Amino acid sequence: MTTYEFWQPIQLSIMIAVVSLVIVTVVGIFVSWWMAKSKFRGKTIVETFLILPIVLPPTVIGFLLVIIFGKNGPIGKMVDVVFNTSIIFTITAAIIAAVVVSFPLMYQSVKTGFQAIDPAIEEAARVDGGSEWIVFRYISIPLCFKPIISGIVLSFARALGEFGATIMFAGNIPGKTQTIPTAIYVAFESNQMGIAWAWVISIITISYLMLFLLRRKNA
Domain ranges in the chain?
3-218
Q: Are 102 and 54 in contact (CB under 8 A)?
A: no
User: Domain 3-218 has what CATH class?
Assistant: mainly alpha
Interatomic CA distance for residues 123 and 186, integer angstroms: 55
What is residue 219's predicted lDDT score, i.e. its pLDDT? Answer: 61
**pLDDT, position 109:** 94
Q: Where are the beta strands (DSSP E) in 3-160?
A: none
* Residue ranges in 70-90 assigned as alpha helix (H): 74-83
Asked if residue 16 lies in contact with residue 98, where contact means CB atoms within 8 angstroms, the answer is: yes
Radius of gyration of the chain (CA): 20
100 to 61, 71, 114: CA distances (angstroms): 8, 19, 22
Q: Which parts of the chain sit beneath pLDDT 70?
A: 217-219
- Tens digit of pLDDT for each residue in 84-105? 888 999 999 999 999 999 999 9
Residue 76: the pLDDT is 87
The pLDDT of residue 204? 93
**What pLDDT score was predicted for residue 13?**
94
